[in-house]
């Protein structure tokens, strides 16, 4: 069975701080995909990144970066120099060979001015 765990339910930081959101996954598949989505207070889900299991290179996109480590089954997300607009719920998700997409419970990030 596939499972995604986001142990941090809520995180609160002050603007300009760096923050890392943890994601640990479980799967028996050798081929799988990992995703991060953002859900701002308005409620919509915004795609951030998709990573396949064969690509362990870290990715950086502006203030966002992702660290994928198969050895620890983790796909952590770091926001550098956080801003108030980063306040949202962030979901990590996993899709395996059976194409069954599983979401974590989400981490609510609050960035205070």
Task: Report residue 10: phi and psi, to 5°.
Answer: -140, 140
Query: Any contact of residue 60 with other proteins (CB under 8 A)?
Result: no
Q: Which residues of 44-68 are buried (b: 16+ CB within 10 A; e: fewer)?
A: eeeebbebebeeeeeeeeeebbbbb
Tell me whether residue 91 is exposed, middle or buried, using C-beta atoms within 10 angstroms of its C-beta: 0 to 12, 13 to 18, 19 or more. buried
Shortest distance in whole angstroms from residue 33 CB to other proteins: 4
Query: Any contact of residue 103 with other proteins (CB under 8 A)?
Result: yes
Query: Any contact of residue 7 with other proteins (CB under 8 A)?
Result: no
**Segment contacting other proteins (CB under 8 A): 20-28, 59-67, 76-84, 99-107?**
99-107
List the one residue from 7, 14, 45, 60 that touches other proteins (CB under 8 A).
Answer: 45
Query: Any contact of residue 106 with other proteins (CB under 8 A)?
Result: yes
Distance from C-alpha of 30 to C-alpha of 36, rounded to nearest angstrom: 20
Q: What residues make contact with other proteins under the rule CB under 8 A?
A: 4, 32-33, 35, 37, 43-47, 50, 91, 93, 95-96, 99-101, 103-106
């Amino acid at each position: 069975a596939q499972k995604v765990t986001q142990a941090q339910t809520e995180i609160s930081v002050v603007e300009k701080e760096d923050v890392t959101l943890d994601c640990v996954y479980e799967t028996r598949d050798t081929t799988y995909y990992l995703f991060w989505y953002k859900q701002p207070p308005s409620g919509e889900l915004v795609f951030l990144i998709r990573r396949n299991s064969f690509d362990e290179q870290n990715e950086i996109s502006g203030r966002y970066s992702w660290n994928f480590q198969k050895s620890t089954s983790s796909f952590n997300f770091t926001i550098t120099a956080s801003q108030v607009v980063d306040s949202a719920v962030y979901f990590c998700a996993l899709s395996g060979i059976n194409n069954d997409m599983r979401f974590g419970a989400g981490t609510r990030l609050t960035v205070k001015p």
